[in-house]
Amino acid sequence: MIRGYSDHAANERTFLAWVRTGIAVIAFGFVVEKFNLFLRTMAGVSLGDTGHRLSVQQLSGPLGRYDGLALVIVGIVLILFAAGHFIRTTRLIDDEQMHPASSIRVELALSAVLGLIVAVLCAYLAFG
């Protein structure tokens, strides 16, 4: 039997949850980027109706070029952070010495960045 098995299993479940979240954020970034590409294509095709073309171009404005990329980068950072945190926690579980609980500042910062990106996207879609 592995010493501290329940702790290692909990650490692995946490790691996999962070990886799933990162993959979901990356997938959402690809969806947003493909939708922006679709909007830019539709704006280029609708040459006859200038009003329709301008309204479609406004939907894919300056934010539309970078929001999908930002989500992909945040997802990659989440996965890299999760891997580092998993390795560090595994070493701490195996160590005989007692260690204080780690700070959750990085997790809160990444969650805040992700929440901010989603809030900006919602406001962009609501008022754009």
Sequence-distant (6+) residues with CB within 8 A of 17 are none
Size (the chain), residues: 128
57: its two tokens:
């171009």
What pTM was estimated for this model as a whole?
A: 0.69
H-helix segments, the chain: 5-45, 50-59, 67-94, 105-127
pLDDT band at residue 103, thresholds of 50, 70 and 90? low
Q: Tell me, letter by letter, the H, E, C secondary structure of 64-100.
A: HHCHHHHHHHHHHHHHHHHHHHHHHHHHHHHCCCCCC
Note the pLDDT of residue 60. 56
In the chain, where are the structural domains located? Answer: 5-127
Return mean pLDDT, the chain.
Answer: 79
- Identify the residue with better confidence: 56 or 97: 97
Using one digit for the tens of pLDDT, what is the confidence trace for 26-73? 998 888 888 777 666 666 665 556 665 556 555 555 656 677 888 889
Query: What pLDDT is attached to residue 59?
Result: 58
